[in-house]
Structure 1
């Protein structure tokens, strides 16, 4: 077993568990066999690029996230950066008045999410 395959498999397992998915659920999302998902996670399979793409789509991440070898702790940062880029893309064609409205909405939403009412 190569360290490369173990790292990719570890990232798949971590992201799957973070989303509360079973191997069976990820298999359903990807169209791959549950046993294949397990062998990827254990680093036993030389995953093809097409299968890597299917797993990435099934987990809702980019393939490069699965190939991150800086350690599993940095996956949150990569995911956050991808989310920020997606938000930036959505907002890039908005006019100033629309951006001010969205900013005010997000500010109010942030206050609501931080309130005790929402958490209980």
Structure 2
């Protein structure tokens, strides 16, 4: 049976959280929002496209930075209200020039930086 993006459980704004994970290393890279149209675009093109809540528009990851995410596989959680995107990431995934948006950790009650910006 063909997949229908409308079969997912979106929030009141028509959005669903999508977690991008490096397909090879397993590193969690980022979280962003998608809607039915951005999911359809991603599946059609193979390039991950999100919905920007601040700009109220689509953004294909890497369209301005060159740090493209290519979809390997899309997974749907058991409640159909969250997506896991297994991706090939070119360069940093975070706008801070880090490999992952999750670059701070709480350790012994302190917030510490665990990833430095990438060189180049």
| Superposition TM-score tier, normalisation by shorter sequence | under 0.3
More strand by share: 2
TM-score, length-normalised on structure 1? Answer: 0.26
| TM value normalised by structure 2 | 0.26
Query: Which structure has the larger Rg over C-alpha atoms?
Result: 1
